[in-house]
Amino acid sequence: MSFYQSPLDVTAFDAKFEAQKIAFAPISFQVARCLLKFGILAHIDEAGDEGRSLEAIVERSQLSEYACSVLLDMGLSMRLIWQNDTHFILDKIGHFLLQDDMAKVNLNFVHDVCYQGLFELESSLKEGKPNGLKVFGDWETIYPTLSELPQQVKKSWFEFDHYYSDHAFGQLLPLIFKSQPKHIVDVGGNTGKWALACTSYDPDVSVTIMDLPGQLKVALKNAEEKGVGNRVAGYRCDLLDEEQAFFDSGDLYWMSQFLDCFSKTQILSILKRTAQSMTANSELCILETYWDRQPFEAGAFCVNATSIYFTAMANGNSRMYHSKDMLSLISQAGLFVDEDIDDIGLGHTLLRCKLKP
Ligand SMILES: C[S@@+](CC[C@H](N)C(=O)[O-])C[C@H]1O[C@@H](n2cnc3c(N)ncnc32)[C@H](O)[C@@H]1O
């Protein structure tokens, strides 16, 4: 990790400006979202180097001159756009906000899932509960009720989740099928995307998805629709309940973006139960984004920000981990890491684990 190891090299003058950016960050966020939402950045982009006048922007956006001008002025201050006499021209940051898929997915996730609830971060931190989740319902954690979230919230949640795992799948399939698994157990398999990727990659493999009932219903419907209902099975479970039996005849256990949904104590319990279900020939593959394993500082920023979603919205006690924490839990559960591969997809790490001899 080449970042966070020394003080930031910045003048006091610039640091003071950065502090103001933080103080006004929610305002900047909403302004950027509205500039996108009302099509203003796209309209400016279409004009290229010539740019657009305020009048043209008002006419197209159907907002008042007042509304457009406050957004544009703040857009200048955020360096999304620049001004050439009377015309506004898209600047580089505005370009990426407009064109970069990752920025779009992250922004929608923060707005739809996190924004309102984040007001409760302070109490969530004190109580260890996702108090922000109250904006959607009176639930203890987000997971059992994922499928009941309001439509737009659900859409942004799934797009965020899938964006990161989807980018990793292509690279992962040959790695995973190297060991020729016949039966994969996808723990926390969600809507079945990985199960479907596996069944289309290998015509002989079967997959059992372990998940909560709401997610399993969607996953099994998706498998039926793709014509692989006979090779994708569901195993209903709440992995927080240690009394519930763990699925035990898989030769490859798969946990993708799953263990970050739990506290360290809960992870240890899940890993121990997984280990008890494994044989000397089976393996456990853990795919996660660790903030210390990100190739770039931008990745660590996004991963650490995502931890705060877990604190205020998801369950109040989980997070994106430092890889050392996960390695220690794996060892405590009686497993060892046979292969440790970084830079998969968008900053994922794959840990292939086996039972300690
Ligand atoms: C962040 S999603 C990961 C989805 C998928 N594996 C991927 O890589 O995109 C976490 C999954 O874990 C499941 N999950 C969370 N808590 C659970 C629990 N207590 N028991 C079983 N599954 C749980 C959720 O329902 C969800 O499908």
Domain CATH code at residue 44: 1.10.10.10
Residues 181 and 48 both lie in one domain? no
Task: Indicate whether residue 238 lines ligand 1 (CB < 6 A).
Answer: yes
pLDDT of residue 165: 87
Query: What average pLDDT does the segment 126-138 reach?
Result: 97
Residue at a domain's end among 81, 99, 117 = 99
- Reduce the DSSP state of residue 187 to 3 states and report it: strand
Q: What is the mean pLDDT of the chain?
A: 96
One domain for residues 94 and 128: no
* pLDDT, tens digit, 9 for 90 and up, residues 150-193: 999 999 999 999 999 889 999 999 999 999 999 999 999 999 99
- Nearest CA residue ID for atom 14, ligand 1: 188
**Three-state DSSP state, 188:** coil
Q: Are residues 274 and 294 in the same domain?
A: yes
- The answer to whether residue 1 sits within a structural domain is no
- State the distance from the centre of ligand 1 to the C-alpha of 189, rounded, in angstroms: 6
C-alpha 211 – ligand 1 centre gap (Å):
6
Q: Does the pLDDT at position 1 exceed 90?
A: no
In a mutational test of the pocket of ligand 1, which residue from 105, 212, 238 has the highest number of ligand atoms less than 8 Å from its CB?
212
**pLDDT tens digits, residue range 70-88?**
999 999 999 999 999 999 9
The pLDDT of residue 237 is above 90: yes
Query: How far is the centre of ligand 1, averaged over its atoms, from the C-alpha of 286 (Å)?
Result: 13
DSSP annotation string for 217-271: HHHHHHHHHTT-TTTEEEEE--TT-TTSPPP---SEEEEES-GGGS-HHHHHHHH
Q: Which is the closest atom of ligand 1 to the Cα of 166?
A: 9
Q: Which atom of ligand 1 is nearest to the CA of 238?
A: 20
Which tokens is 305 given?
């920000």
Domain of residue 90, residue span: 12-99
Last residue of a domain, one of 69, 99, 129: 99
Same domain, 277 and 161: yes
Q: Are residues 59 and 124 in the same domain?
A: no
Say how many Å lie between the CA of residue 318 and the centre of ligand 1. Answer: 13
Cα 277 from Cα 321, distance rounded (Å): 25
The answer to whether position 2 is within a domain reads no
For the Cβ of 260 lying below 6 angstroms from any atom of ligand 1, the answer is no
Amino acid 110 reads V
* Total domains in the fold of the chain: 2
Would you say the CB of residue 261 lies under 6 angstroms from ligand 1?
yes
Residue 211 located in a structural domain: yes
Residues 346/102, Cβ–Cβ less than 8 Å: yes
Inform me whether the pLDDT recorded for 2 exceeds 90.
no
Counting residues of the chain whose pLDDT is more than 90, the rounded percentage is 96
The ipTM (two decimal places) reads 0.99
Q: Is the pLDDT of residue 249 over 90?
A: no
